[in-house]
Amino acid sequence: MGSSSRPFLHKKIFIFWSVLILSSGSWCVAARISSLISKDLFDAIFIHKDDNACPAKDFYPYNSFIKASRCFPRFGNTGSLTTRRREIAAFLAQISHETTGGWPTAPDGPYAWGLCFKEEVSPQSDYCDSTNNEWPCYPGKSYKGRGPIQLSWNYNYGPAGKALGFDGLRNLEMVSNNSLIAFRTALWYWMTEQQPKPSCHNVMVGGYVPTAADLAVNRTAGFGLVTNIINGGLECGIPNDGRVNDRIGYFQRYAKLFNVDTGPNLDCQYQKPF
């Protein structure tokens, strides 16, 4: 190969490094889910998130979501085009329920009010599991729900902070003060397997293989199993639970906007929680 090839080689090296972004202590690949969810689509999904009625007004911009996704290159980039769109729709549906400001007669319907809150209102406890010695609670801190997926409990804040480059036990307020970190915690939770739970990502892209024990308690793949992973202890195994139905309502609306079907097993009413 002659010397004329060297500029091309240097260009390839430059392009390779240019798609890596160092942020919060981790390398983030500039994946392009923006080709699947444009700003216009994002704004059509979250019609009211920046209304004055929403406490999280201006906290969840499109650019923060896209930048956060770059730290999780498999998100929205695994499987067929339909699978990729469905996963993004499912993620947005779950975080919409967790942060909803909607009500049955709300303008544009109850499923147009996602990302209205950035932290839990009137928490019933400080969400500290004092028996967890690996991620001990810091005095005076409340590990209540924060961010798009309402990250809760010290055993979630600690690992999330470690993975994303901040002190999740002592500086957990960053999740409700920094929109980029907020979206990253939600995506971290979505992408991370926590035994015996699979990751939400693997469930939505077909990577979940149920064990015999899972099959015995009807933990079959689908959006309902994702709900089980996120909050099954409170919502699953209950016929016609309103919270589960709210999650499904968001997913059905978003799936239509992404022009995909929802897939089977939308609820978890007959599933045993993990």
Q: Which residues are catalytic?
A: 98
Separation CA 33–CA 76 (nearest Å): 6
Identify whether 198 is preceded by a cis peptide bond (ω within 30 of 0).
Answer: no
3-class DSSP assignment, residue 135: coil
Residue 169 and residue 161 in contact, taking contact as beta carbons nearer than 8 Å:
yes
For residue 214, the one-letter residue type is D
The alpha carbon of residue 226 and the mean position of all alpha carbons in its chain are separated, in whole angstroms, by 11
Residue type, 156: N
For tokens 């996704």, name the residue.
Answer: 69
Is 189:149 a contact under the CB 8 Å cutoff?
Answer: yes
SS3 (DSSP) at 16? helix
Residue 244 gets the label, from left (phi > 0), alpha (psi -120 to 50) or beta, of alpha
Paired with 27 in beta bridges are 22
